[in-house]
A and B are shown apart, each in its own frame.
Chain A
Amino acid sequence: MLAIFTIVVVVLLVVLLALVFLNFTFLTVTFPELAVFLASMLIFFLLSRRLIFENAFIIGFLSKIANGEPIEAKQVIGKMRGHPDVFSGWTPLSILSYWKNTIDVYRYTFYSLFALLLLLALIARFTALQTPLIAVFLETAVMGALIPVYFVWAYDSLASYYLNNALEL
């Protein structure tokens, strides 16, 4: 079921991308930076998909806990990928903090990729006397990637705040 859903989502995204590029064909001929911007933004949104959605789930559960609403471990496990039988006897809060830790690796990878792109753009920008064409495109890619990076940062900092409050750290 999940595999079918993922395939459908990927196909829809590809169709959306193709439609965007067909619609912007005329504009991208004279202004190809727009295509680079959109492509970079979409690629980084795809990379940040797990981070954004799972942090959103974590924020939702933790705000329920903070408001005093009862939640069950089964609800949390149902939203979570992985091995549900590992968590027998765990409290919802411990599952949530474990969940938050498992997606840390994606966060570091995501930020590292953005930092790499930023570094490449800065190198292209400042090593040559005359600004080469690729520097403009790399800069545009950085600008497009800034938007998913902002969302990831915002969701992650909110989730961290709620988790620290719930754990009374």
Chain B
Amino acid sequence: MQRPVFILSMITVVGLLIGYITGSFITRTYTLKRIAEVPGSPIVISSIYDSAQHAILVGLHNPGFVPINFINYSIVFTPGEYTNEAGYFLAPVALNATLQPQETMILTLSLKEHTQALAMGDVVTGTIVYTYEGLPEIYQLIHTFEQTTLTGGETQASKRRQTTARSDTIQQTNN
């Protein structure tokens, strides 16, 4: 009697396949569950000065897998050499925005009312405070916008500098 070579080899191949399928399924499920808990810090992908609204429009992207809740923003205005405006600090303005994972949104950071449009060399530093759902810590994102055209209102990509800093207390962020 001949050995059942074909059936034995078929059983071996199918066994390897089933081991591969179940093992990769467990690994994939476990990894996806772990990845879904990773919070990502928001990334500034664009920022422009809109003269009609007298505001800075900041485009933000959430690269993580946890929704981001934006709490407030504050603004520091540093005058350049081509403006008569004095420097000022805007106290935190409440924001009620939630950025879903892997999505992009535009935040409107309004400047102080009844002030001149931004001129060349003016620097606006916006501090956006945010939290993650289920995490007690409060984080902040500092974005520096520099006006690079003579008059405001044009769509210009600004020199961007972005730093994220972690603050332990609310008082520290409100300073």
Q: Which residues of A contact B (CB under 8 A)?
A: 30-31, 33-34, 37, 66-67, 136, 139-140, 143-144, 146-147, 150, 153-154, 157-158, 161-162, 165
Contact = CB atoms under 8 A, between A and B. Distances in A.
Contacts of B1: 66-67, 165
B18 A161 contact: no
Interface string B59-94: 000000000000000000000000000000000000
B30 to A, nearest CB: 6
A63 B25 CA distance: 37
A162 B4 contact: yes
A147 B4 contact: no
A139 B25 contact: yes
B4 A143 contact: no
22 contacts: A31-B30, A31-B33, A33-B30, A37-B26, A66-B1, A136-B29, A139-B25, A143-B22, A143-B26, A146-B18, A146-B21, A146-B22, A147-B22, A153-B14, A154-B11, A157-B7, A157-B10, A157-B11, A158-B4, A158-B8, A161-B7, A162-B4
Q: Which 3 A-B pairs have the closest CB atoms?
A: A66-B1, A154-B11, A161-B4
Contacts, number: 42
A96 B25 CA distance: 39
Nearest to B6: A161
Nearest to A66: B1
Contact of A154 (B15, B21, B33): B15
Contact of B25 (A66, A140, A154, A165): A140
Interface of B: 1, 4, 7-8, 10-11, 14-15, 18, 21-22, 25-26, 29-30, 33
A161 B7 CA distance: 8
Nearest to A30: B33
Contact of B15 (A30, A37, A150, A161): A150
Given A34-B26, A153-B14, A154-B11, 16 more contacts: A31-B30, A33-B26, A33-B29, A33-B30, A37-B26, A66-B1, A136-B29, A140-B29, A143-B21, A146-B18, A146-B22, A154-B14, A154-B15, A157-B7, A161-B4, A165-B1
A33 B25 CA distance: 11
A161 B10 CA distance: 13
B165 to A, nearest CB: 31
A122 to B, nearest CB: 15
B69 to A, nearest CB: 22
